[in-house]
Structure 1
Amino acid sequence: MSFLIGTEAIAHVAFWIVVGLTFGGAVIAVFPRNIIYNVLGLVMALSGVAGLYLYLGSFFIALMQLLIYVGAICISIVFAIMLSRPLHLEVPKRSVPKVAMAAGASAIFFAAVVGVIFKSNWVPAPEQSGDWSVVTIGHLLLTRYDLVFEVISLVLLVAIIGAIVTAGYSRRFSS
């Protein structure tokens, strides 16, 4: 029976594998000169962090780590890299009326958000009763406050569509 390994030894080996994955991904995210390798290293490091959350027993946070950081942010970075213009091309000059309209729209949006913040009555949700555990937060986010996830997905969708339209427009007129 000496060839059988205990569950504690397997847990230690799994922990060190996840730590190695995290640090290896961090090294790959920092040192290569190719930006795609950097993003893949970031994905590897963030997946390792999700593994560390799993090891600590925080399944919800591990899934949110994978969903938000690996799934959304890293994929958005890859889209930005793929759709950005090459560095050797000349950057077109900005149109002053477009910049003024963008600044005006941003100021109006900022004023509206500040107005909503100051005019809202911010009271804690009654069902929380001071319990801020991960279970309670996860339950509230996936039941009562599920609109937040829908809005985030719409913002990401609009950003991706905008990047595709912008890249297609600039590539038509730059070639």
Structure 2
Amino acid sequence: MNSFLTSGLIHAAFWVVVGLTFGGAVLAVFPRKIVYNVLGLIVCLSGVAGLFLYLGSFFLALMQLLIYVGAICVAIVFAIMLSPPLHLEVPKRRMGKVVLSAGASGVFFVAIAAVIWKTVWHPAAERGADWSIVTIGHLLLTRYDLVFELISLVLLVAIIGAILTTGFSRRLSS
């Protein structure tokens, strides 16, 4: 009797999470207001994290919440909040800035291409490494924790850059 009740609760929780996921997907697609679309995306991605929990993959569920719900959706909300209204006229681009940004992008591309070209790549199978989710999660939070933190720093710099850009564009338009 007790296992039947537990099994029923597990199945009910599964169907609630599936309903949450599909409901969030519908809310992400059909409303005409973009804020409701983003909220629907957050609900849908949270439901996907619940499905990962149901499948026993706690690491993927946590990464789903941290990366997609916590970072991507928050960045989308910031982009919506900080974008200027569509009825305002966009200032013309200055050719000096375009050339400077194209040059900086070219230098960055050449540097990355040189690093990729000069690196000696070894297939993972030759090293005999274990590439399970548990191992990747352990490596991300121990050996490669600096890289993990740098990703969050890059997101922070992007958000600060968006805020500064919005402040400059609002001063130019007024």
TM-score, normalised by the number of residues in structure 1: 0.93
The 1:71–1:80 alpha-carbon spacing in structure 2 relative to 1, beyond 3 Å, is same
> Residue 110 of structure 2 aligns to which amino acid in structure 1?
A
Aligned equivalent of 1:170:
169
1:99-118 correspondence runs (5 A): 99-118=98-117
- Note the aligned Cα RMSD (angstroms): 1.9
What's the offset of the Cα at 1:159?
0.6
TM-score, normalised by the number of residues in structure 2: 0.93
1:76-91 correspondence runs (5 A): 76-91=75-90
Between the aligned partners of 1:5 and 1:158, the Cα distance in structure 2 is 51
Between the aligned partners of 1:41 and 1:77, the Cα distance in structure 2 is 12
What's the offset of the Cα at 1:133?
1.0
What's the offset of the Cα at 1:123?
3.8
What's the offset of the Cα at 1:72?
0.1
Deviations 1:12-33 (A, max 9, x none): 1000000000000000000001
> Residue 161 of structure 1 aligns to which amino acid in structure 2?
I
Please, which runs of 5 or more residues in structure 1 have no aligned partner? Answer: none
The alignment status of 1:17 with 2:16, answered yes or no, reads yes
Please, which runs of 5 or more residues in structure 2 have no aligned partner? Answer: none
Between the aligned partners of 1:17 and 1:125, the Cα distance in structure 2 is 39
Moved over 2 A (4+): 121-126
Between the aligned partners of 1:48 and 1:104, the Cα distance in structure 2 is 43
Aligned equivalent of 1:55:
54
Aligned equivalent of 2:71:
72
Higher alpha-carbon deviation: 15-24 or 163-172 = 163-172
What's the offset of the Cα at 1:80?
0.4
Aligned equivalent of 2:133:
134
What's the offset of the Cα at 1:169?
0.9
